[in-house]
Amino acid sequence: MNPKIIEVGKRSALAAGAMLRQNYLKPHQVILKGTIDPVTESDLESQEIIIGLIRQVFPEHCFLAEEKTLTESLGLQKGGHRWIIDPLDGTVNFAHGFPMFCVSIAYERKGRVEYGVVYDPLRDELFEGVRGGGAWLNGQEIRVSPTDNLESALLATGFPYDVRQRLPQTMARLSRLISRAQGVRRAGSAALDMCYVASGRLDGFWEENLKPWDTAAGSLIIEEAGGRLSTFDGGVFELTSPNVVASNGKLHQAILETLGEKPGSGGIRKERNG
């Protein structure tokens, strides 16, 4: 791993996070991209900060970013180097003054995520993962929880922006897992939920219709912390998968069985931002 990748990724996350922290309690300019899918001026400013800092060091690298406002194509890889960016994961929370949001940045080389960083600016918590090198929170190694009983587990989930069109299925899954787990939380930032699984604060997480920028950094951090990822039906998780289950590994099969998805059922992918 090129140490400059880690350096610029961390520096970009911290700089964007500092701006979000400064803007957090100020009035926001909110634009709706969908019925309940907002973007604020801080989303756009955060993305500009991140891409600007990375380009200073790696002008040849390309980007896949949530707020596609730049004039050039962001999603085409050049030489296999790509940064996958969510400049503000938890925009609804941020816009309402609810203190659960973060910056998520991943570096991908030839289709494989090699480095991920997630920064929570209000708690000043920096989660990182390097492929083959471990996962850390503020420089201290983290591992998934040892919980092996679903009845003792604290889980988390999130709802997609098209939840009103898929409410029966979404609520049925939630109901099944609430009936078995010790507790279920819905905090509104998938990247932080995944980092909380990696650090043992949560034992498992599931959500549907996430996009690559929601999961790229968090999925690597979970893997490097000893956790497991799959789709709802137990298939191999990829950044383009229609859904994700993340766990400490010991609870994974129990979560899958409780979700009750048939193997190979897959799912239809729809746009999801935020």
CA distances from 188 to 99, 176, 207, 248, 251 (A): 10, 20, 11, 20, 22
The pLDDT score that the predictor gives to residue 165 is: 77
C-alpha angle with apex 145: 139 to 150, nearest 5 degrees? Answer: 155
Q: Which of 141, 176, 191 is where one domain is finished?
A: 141
Q: What is the mean pLDDT of residues 177-203?
A: 98
The pLDDT score that the predictor gives to residue 271 is: 33
Longest dimension (CA), the chain: 51
The pLDDT score that the predictor gives to residue 32 is: 67
Domain holding 131: CATH number?
3.30.540.10
- At 166, the pLDDT band (50, 70, 90 cuts) reads confident
Residue 41 lies in a domain: yes
Q: What is the dihedral of CA 208, 88, 203, 260, to 10 degrees?
A: 0
The pLDDT score that the predictor gives to residue 160 is: 79
Q: What is the mean pLDDT of residues 208-216?
A: 96
Residue 272 lies in a domain: no
> How many structural domains comprise the chain?
2
Q: What is the mean pLDDT of residues 14-19?
A: 98
Looking at the structure, do residues 23 and 109 belong to the same domain, yes or no? yes
Q: What is the mean pLDDT of the chain?
A: 90
The pLDDT score that the predictor gives to residue 267 is: 42
DSSP secondary structure letters along 71-104? SS-SS--BTTEEEEEEEEE-HHHHHHT-S--EEE
- At 39, the pLDDT band (50, 70, 90 cuts) reads confident
C-alpha angle with apex 117: 116 to 118, nearest 5 degrees? Answer: 130
pLDDT, one tens digit per residue, over 97-151 is 999 999 999 999 999 999 999 999 999 999 999 999 999 999 999 999 999 999 9
Tokens standing for 141?
């190694």
- At 268, the pLDDT band (50, 70, 90 cuts) reads very low
Residues 6+ apart with CB under 8 A from 229: 219, 222, 223, 237, 244, 245, 246
Residue 193 lies in a domain: yes
* Bridge partners (DSSP) listed for residue 246: 205, 229
- At 244, the pLDDT band (50, 70, 90 cuts) reads very high
200 vs 183: CA distance, rounded Å: 15
